[in-house]
Structures are given as C-alpha cells and as structure tokens.
Structure 1
Amino acid sequence: MSTETQSSSNRERDERRRVILDYVLEHGQASAATLTEVTGRSLMTVHRDLDELASRGLVRKFHGGVSALPTSMFESSSDFRKQRNAQVKKALAMTAVELIEPGMSILLDDSTTVLELAKLLPSKAPLTVLTNYRDAIDVLVEEPEIRVIAIGGTYSKTHNSFVGSPHLTGLDSYAVDIVFQSTSTMDGHMTYHQEEDLVLMKRAMLDAGTRKVLMMDSSKVGRTSLHQFVPLAAFTDVILSDDVPRSMFTELPENVLLHFA
C-alpha cells in the first residue's frame, strides 16, 4: 500500500471512530448493529473500532455494543479531546502564534487546544519551550531550533502528560515570556476545571509567565466545572472563537485583551 493510500485509509478510520464516539456520547449507548448502520461499515470493522476505543478508555464495551463513560472521563482523555472541534482549535492557534517572537521562552499546558499552537512554533524559531504534554514534546523535540524542557511529575496515560504537585515540578524556578493555556470551561468572570490536581499545576504554570494567554472555543464558554481555576482577570490575553458572544465580556478588567479567531 502506498504512503498516500495508507494516509487516506487512516483518515477514514479516524473519522469513522469520531462518528462512533459522537453517536455514543449523544445516545448514552449503542449496539454494534446500530453502529454498522451509522457508519455504513461491516460488523467486523465496527467491532475493531470499538475494541480500539475501549482500549483507549473512551467507551465501555459490553456484549453486543458500547456505552459512554461519565462525561468527566471523556473530558479528561487526551485522545477524546484531540478529536473535538479540531478546526476551531487550529484557528485559535493561528491567532495565538502571532503573539510569539523568535527568541522567546514559552510554556504550554497539556490542553489539545494549545497542542495546535505547538505545531506552529517551528515558524517562530528559535524558541525555548517548556511543557508537560507528551504530544507537544513529540511535535517539537526533533526541531533543531527549539529547545524543549519537559516538566511535570508522574505520567498520566489518560492525559498523556506528566502531572505533579507544584512543589515537585520545579515550576517555581522558571520565569517565561508567555504561558499558553486552555481549560475545561469558563463564564464571563471565572475559569474552571474538573480535576483538582490539574488546577494546582495550571496555577503554578500561570505564575511562571509574564504574559498569560487563555485559548477557548465556544463549546467551553458559558459553562462551569467542578473546581474554580482562576478569574479571567488573571490572564493578560483571552483568545476566543469568533462565535462566542461579545456581550459576555463587557465587564472585563482593562488589563485583559480579547482576541477573536
């Protein structure tokens, strides 16, 4: 099989699995027979897809079908997050990269939104990039003009990142030019995250930066999660997708710059 044919086959497979995930998340559960109708593929192919999705912790397989895991588990999964709103995340990254100049030091969190920014960083090299996200490390580690510093603690397979208490990560010893982050949800005044240990690490990351940039698409706006992260006023810049209502942010402090992608 040629490289081009293999690439096309992989895209088709990934899109089919996105369709399956979306259907299961919307309906709570689905039989394999139903998913053959939804995808237009054979029962054998659907079972292979379900085995792979279950092995990645995205669905729970039972005899004859699958069910959705709790929403918090979906939102924690790096694999699942990478498949959500991919084009919007790319647009946010295109806006964010314009804030970067060659020679800067940059800190990236383990959000899939910020991962799209990591893919654009070679165009701004030379750079020093700190991150706890394995995907971002993989993207950048072979770039000759980008110095990569891995931070964090214990590896989390769910997040595909290294997570540790702030006093164990060494984050308090760094001072970077810009921190780029995303988080679970936000309203007009506060940001939120569903996991307490990640809140603590994200706060330590934010403290390390001179300029602090939040990147959020509209699916995260106007909602809350279990734990408060930081007020929007803790950021110097907030980059939002263009479909977010401007009326939500009429009371932001003057020090916060709004950008729309």
Structure 2
Amino acid sequence: MSEQNLSRRREGRLDELTTVLLAEGTATAQDLADRFDVSLMTMHRDLDELERRGLVRKFRGGVTTQPSGVFESNVLFRQQAMTAQKQIIARAARRLVEPGMSVMLDDSTSVLALAKLLDDVTPLRVVTNFLAGLKVLAAFPGISLTALGGDYDPNHDSFLGVGCVEAVEALRVDAVFVSTSAAAEGLAYHQEQHIVSVKRAMLAAAARRYLLLDSGKFGRVALHRVVPLDTFDGVIVDDGISEEQLADLRERGIAVEVAR
C-alpha cells in the first residue's frame, strides 16, 4: 500500500476513533485496539496524535474526552454534552435580550445555544470571539456582528490571548453571557488561564452580566478561579441542580433562576 493510501487510511481511523470517544467519553487503549483491529502500539500512536490535536487526554492505560480540574474538553465533545439542559437554559436567557441591545457572547457551548435563538431579536449588535457563534449569527439578517480577534485556538474554536483581551477592553456592551467549567462554594472556575483572562475582560466590559451553567458543573472546581458568583446579575441553571446546591446559592445572595 502506498504511503498516501496509508495516510488516508489512518486519517479515516482517527476520524472514527474521535467519533467513538466523543460518544463514550472514556475507553482503554486495549479495548480500542481490539475494536479497530490494530496493535496496541498503533493505537497508542493514534491516541498520541489525538492528544496532540487537543481532542483527548491520555491517562495510564486509557484515554478520555471528559474534563478534569486542569483539562477542558475539546469543543466537539462539549457541543454534545448536556444539550437538552443547555437549550432550556438558553431559552430562559433569550428573554433577557431585547432589540436594540449590544451583547457579548463568550466561546462556551452553553452560550452558543443562546446564539442560535437570536434570529428574531433585531436590530441587535453581537460581539463574540467564538468562531462557531460567528458562523451561526452571520446567517441572521438584522444582527450586526463584531468579531473579537486574537490567536485562534482550535481546541476551543475561538480567538484568545492578549489580542482578544485588548479587543474586549475597547468595548462597552449592555450585557454579556458567559459560562464556566465548574462552580462551587460561591465561585466560578475554569481550567485554563488564557480563557479566564478573556472571561474576566468580558465581564468588565458589560453593564449586566449573566452566567449560563448546566447542573452538571455545580459542586466541581478547576485550577483557576474566574470570579465570585455574586459578580453576576443572574445565574441561570437547569432543574437538575440539587436542592442543597440551590439553597447554598440563595444563602450566598446569588440571583439564581432555575430554567424549566
């Protein structure tokens, strides 16, 4: 078999492997080698390549697309996680957006669900660093778009870094909608420092601040603190949040809405 055909065959296997891992979340290298009928050494090389691309995280004997306290899942995985809950939260957040406003959206998949609902809220100015969000919003007549520049990060499908922060700092919007990876003890957390820098700049650039957070993220922490939850004018969650977690938020004076 020619080198070109071998390369195509491997890329096809990597695509199939990515699909399996996005669906299952975690697997062992041996199990994957058996399923794809390749040697364990070949599978480890394939998983090394997926890890290099930021799609998975390897651990001893296996691989996962699930986030950890220091690892944020690839955007492809996040787009498939908690989709029903994100849609419910997005519908509640949509009521906060009115024609004539300027709004800023971060690069989270929770906020992407909101972006998809903005087609009839016009005129509207939307500012975002999320390439997936820009593609969605560009199709909506009556929405004026401002793209935030910076360094493109394929793991997040967004523009980040100093350039993005400076672009955010030059603006002032009516409202910002963001999400984070984790929330516990009255604080919002994220695994990656360069994401935290952009989110903090976005929050400082808005008159009103809203956090969209699915219930699976409560009671977890990550490496970096973003901001206290009472920074937000509203925290919108789905009804999967526990009564204890909800009571804790309210006792801390956090304005929380349970979307149903």
**Alignment TM-score, normalising by the size of structure 2:** 0.78
Letter in 2 for 1:258: E
Q: d(CA) in 1 for partners of 2:79 and 2:148? A: 21
| 1:64-83 equivalent positions in 2, closer than 5 A | 67-68=63-64, 71-72=67-68, 75-83=72-80
The yes-or-no answer on 1:248 pairing with 2:248 is yes
CA drift of 1:247 comes to 2.2
- Describe the SS at the equivalent of 1:201: helix
Correspondence for 2:24: 23
- Describe the SS at the equivalent of 2:120: helix
Does the 8 Å CA contact 1:192/1:227 hold for their aligned counterparts? Answer: yes
What RMSD, in angstroms, separates the aligned Cα atoms of the two structures? 3.1
Q: d(CA) in 2 for partners of 1:159 and 1:105? A: 24
Q: d(CA) in 2 for partners of 1:108 and 1:58? A: 23
Correspondence for 2:4: none
Q: d(CA) in 2 for partners of 1:23 and 1:101? A: 39
Correspondence for 2:134: 137
CA drift of 1:24 comes to 4.9
Unaligned runs of 5+ in 1: 1-13, 37-42
Deviations 1:64-85 (A, max 9, x none): x973368458624111211111
Does the 8 Å CA contact 2:55/2:73 hold for their aligned counterparts? Answer: no
CA gap of 1:229–1:208, structure 2 versus 1, over 3 A, is same
Q: d(CA) in 2 for partners of 1:260 and 1:66? A: 37
CA drift of 1:165 comes to 2.3
Correspondence for 1:260: 259
CA drift of 1:210 comes to 1.1
CA gap of 1:80–1:189, structure 2 versus 1, over 3 A, is same
Letter in 1 for 2:216: S
Correspondence for 1:181: 178
The yes-or-no answer on 1:232 pairing with 2:229 is yes
Q: d(CA) in 2 for partners of 1:138 and 1:110? A: 12
Correspondence for 1:11: none
Q: d(CA) in 1 for partners of 2:180 and 2:165? A: 22
Of 224-233 and 161-170, deviating more is 161-170
CA drift of 1:218 comes to 1.3
Correspondence for 2:212: 215
Correspondence for 1:100: 97
CA drift of 1:141 comes to 1.3
Number of equivalenced pairs: 232
CA gap of 1:71–1:253, structure 2 versus 1, over 3 A, is closer
**Alignment TM-score, normalising by the size of structure 1:** 0.77
